[in-house]
């Protein structure tokens, strides 16, 4: 697909960009139509019924008009319902990532972005992606609130400290697209700018090899996690092969639905794992004792990401 910069919008470079633009234009032109109609109507009526001796009866009160009121209630209600259903459908499409998505770890901090690739490659302010492959971003911040915003993909999501947020899209156009921080985060907020480079599959794997060789590739997250599993002695309470121990085994744990000691239910996702490492007794799985110590202050953010990536790799 070729870039088609319209005079209003940036190129539509992701799988849902075009559909979103149709909805955007629908709402825009509908609003324009209503605005022009109401303005012309107001002017016409003001002139037509301006104060004149000719209309002595005009001051008589009119209390209601059944059909007129029905029409101006029912038609807008239908239009609102259409926008609601259409918008909800698109929103859900944009929320739920396909299970075969490629995953990147995105870290925002004042005032730059870092991207961790599954192979251990790490980039700053530059995200390189293969075309036509769904990408799922797992995002967190090291300091304050940021917001990950790529206008060409029609996608934006807050990036928070102490919590993971997610976002997914499929790039459908080769090229370079600007990435912005869309949440005021301090003095240099406006220079927290990056670039998204979308390449063909061949060029992408060539880039990944080259970047890996040049940087001496940092240890990939799951591998670092496996090391920490030993060095931080997670193994004393958690097995990595499904075997029973003091705590639940890491194997197959990710994605499970768990009942907690207070009777409530939850899914083992990134945010639950993070909470369980930093504040282990917040939600204890039924059948286990609340005896795990906190690892607050003992792991930096990348190490936390690594342990979580390690647990996810043990399926
Ligand atoms: Cu980060 Cu604004």
**Residue 185 and residue 175: Cα distance in Å, rounded?**
28
* pLDDT value, residue 55: 64
Distance 179 CA to ligand 1 centre (A): 11
| Any atom of ligand 1 within 6 Å of the Cβ of 191 | no
Tokens of 23: 């909805």
* pLDDT value, residue 213: 73
pTM of model > 0.85: no
The answer to whether residues 116 and 128 touch, using CB atoms and an 8 Å cutoff, is no
* pLDDT value, residue 54: 67
* pLDDT value, residue 40: 97
Predicted confidence (pLDDT) per residue in 13-24, tens digit = 898 888 899 999
Q: Which residues of the chain have pLDDT under 50?
A: 1-2
Give the closest residue to 105 by CA, choosing from 308, 275, 315. Answer: 308
Burial class from Cβ neighbours inside 10 Å (0-12, 13-18, 19+) for residue 289 reads exposed
Among the atoms of ligand 1, which is closest to the Cα of residue 192? 1
**Residue 275 and residue 253: Cα distance in Å, rounded?**
15
**Residue 182 and residue 163: Cα distance in Å, rounded?**
18
Instruction: Compute the radius of gyration of the chain from its Cα atoms.
Output: 27
Distance 299 CA to ligand 1 centre (A): 24
Residue for token pair 């997914």: 168
* pLDDT value, residue 305: 87
Among the atoms of ligand 1, which is closest to the Cα of residue 144? 1
**Residue 46 and residue 50: Cα distance in Å, rounded?**
6
Distance 67 CA to ligand 1 centre (A): 52
């Amino acid at each position: 697909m070729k870039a088609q910069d319209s005079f209003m919008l940036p190129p539509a470079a992701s799988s849902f960009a075009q559909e979103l633009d149709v909805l955007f234009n629908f709402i825009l032109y509908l609003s324009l139509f209503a605005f022009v109609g109401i303005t012309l109507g107001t002017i016409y009526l003001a002139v037509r019924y301006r104060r004149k001796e000719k209309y002595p009866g005009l001051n008589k009160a009119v209390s209601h008009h059944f059909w007129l009121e029905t029409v101006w209630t029912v038609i807008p209600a239908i239009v609102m319902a259409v926008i609601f259903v259409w918008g909800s459908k698109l929103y859900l499409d944009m929320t739920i990532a396909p299970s075969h998505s490629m995953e990147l770890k995105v870290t925002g901090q004042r005032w730059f972005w870092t991207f961790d690739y599954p192979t251990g490659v790490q980039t700053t302010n530059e995200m390189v992606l293969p075309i036509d492959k769904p990408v799922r971003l797992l995002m967190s911040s090291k300091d304050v609130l940021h917001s990950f915003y790529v206008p060409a993909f029609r996608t934006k999501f807050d990036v928070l400290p102490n919590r993971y947020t997610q976002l997914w899209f499929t790039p459908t156009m080769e090229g370079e697209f600007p990435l912005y921080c869309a949440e005021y985060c301090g003095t240099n907020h406006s220079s927290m700018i990056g670039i998204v480079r979308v390449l063909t599959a061949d060029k992408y794997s060539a880039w990944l090899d080259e970047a890996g060789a040049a940087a001496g590739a940092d240890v990939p997250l799951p591998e670092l996690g496996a090391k920490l599993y030993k060095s931080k002695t997670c193994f004393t309470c958690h097995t990595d092969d499904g075997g029973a121990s003091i705590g639940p085994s890491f194997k197959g744990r990710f994605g499970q639905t768990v009942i907690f000691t207070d009777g409530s239910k939850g899914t083992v996702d990134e945010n639950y794992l993070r909470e369980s490492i930093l504040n282990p007794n917040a939600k204890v799985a039924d059948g286990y004792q609340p005896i795990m110590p906190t690892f607050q202050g003992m792991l930096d953010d990348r190490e936390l990401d690594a342990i979580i990536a390690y647990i996810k790799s043990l399926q």
